[in-house]
Structure 1
Amino acid sequence: MSKDQILYQLLSEIERNPSISQKDLSREVGISVGMVNWHVKRFVAKGLVKLQEAPLRRYLYYLTPEGFSEKAKLTADFLHASFDAFRQGREQYSALLDLCSVNGWQNIVLLGNTELTELAVLVSHQFPKINLVAVIGRSGTRSSPHGLVLVSGPQEAVELTPILKVDAVVSCQFNTSLLVGGEIDRILSELHLDRSRFLIPGFLQ
């Protein structure tokens, strides 16, 4: 999580619940209590947050007009970054599926059940000849996007389409670079594919 995301979440939680404790802020944002305390002190020093004493040695936190302005700026920056990431992902998945179409690779397996999977499925609608066979991911982590079958391994994907041959694997995992080579090779081997059929969008490499 970036520094700006941490600041945005802290200001959002304070706005939502002025009586929130630093311990609860720590849990909601996912940083240590000490780090929360450091950020809150900086907010107060910069005039973004005002403290008011409450019973039982507690404090109430209020966003000042400057605090609301800073939160609005962070919101705009976050949305801009999100739209940029969405556009970049859409363009790169479109390029990969176009490559599949040009090469006649029609039956595609998606590796990883993440938000990127949903983006790849969305982009696939532009390519009528592309057939998304299945998503390889951990069962039970998320629902499979748009009705695609979620399988735990390549062998299950093969069993789904006994009369079809899987032509390529497209990665939708944020941590593709952390996969050990042997794991990728095992997946490709079970699908009877070589490394040229394992496609990763540039922003994941």
Structure 2
Amino acid sequence: MTDPKPPENELDYAILRQLEADRSGNQRDLARHLGVSVGKINYCLRAVIDRGWVKVNNFRRADNKLAYAYLLTPSGARAKVRLARAFLERKEREFEHLQQEISALRQEVHSDQPTE
């Protein structure tokens, strides 16, 4: 049996969660932390910004480059809670399914043992 494809909004949740924990992280750090490419992070950040879930503040750093601070908006905080609930429900279903598989495997192993 193959694993079901995770919902597209799982990365949105991970991004919102990480941005809430660390507003000053850059896209490269965010990509490394979440295990995806910088391009994917850029695309997903643009999407959550377009939805109004994240606000971007830019400022100039001493090395004359622009830096960004990502802030969750009130609608972003509500979206994070909704996404967290959906993520938790999916993980609980996966956990229950895994427990059933483990139980079936234990029964199979127990019944396949030769009797002496």
Q: Give, as a single letter, the amino acid of the residue that structure 1 aligns with 2:21.
A: R
More helix by share: 2
Identity of aligned residues (%): 29
Rate the CA distance shift 1:48–1:98 in 2: closer, same or farther, 3 A: same
Distance 1:70 1:91 in 2: 32
Q: CA deviation at 1:55?
A: 2.8
The answer for the alignment partner of 1:21 in structure 2 is 26
Write the deviation string for residues 149-178 of structure 1: whole angstroms up to 9, x where unpaired. xxxxxxxxxxxxxxxxxxxxxxxxxxxxxx
Q: Does 1:73 align with 2:82?
A: yes
Q: Does 1:92 align with 2:97?
A: no
Q: Does 1:105 align with 2:113?
A: yes
Q: Give, as a single letter, the amino acid of the residue that structure 1 aligns with 2:79.
A: E
State how 1:5-16 maps to structure 2 within 5 Å: 5-16=10-21
Report which structure shows greater RCO (CA 8 Å, sep ≥6): 2
Q: TM-score, normalised to structure 1's length?
A: 0.47
Write the deviation string for residues 58-105 of structure 1: whole angstroms up to 9, x where unpaired. 11110011111111111111111111111111112212222343x362
Distance 2:106 2:37 in 1: 42
How many residue pairs match? The answer is: 106
Q: CA RMSD in A?
A: 2.1
Distance 2:112 2:40 in 1: 53
The answer for the alignment partner of 1:195 in structure 2 is none
Q: Which runs of 5+ in 2 are unaligned?
A: none
Distance 1:85 1:30 in 2: 21
Distance 1:41 1:4 in 2: 14
The answer for the alignment partner of 1:43 in structure 2 is 48
Higher radius of gyration, 1 or 2: 1
Distance 2:28 2:104 in 1: 46
The answer as to whether partners of 2:12 and 2:48 remain within 8 angstroms in 1 is no
Q: Which runs of 5+ in 1 are unaligned?
A: 107-205
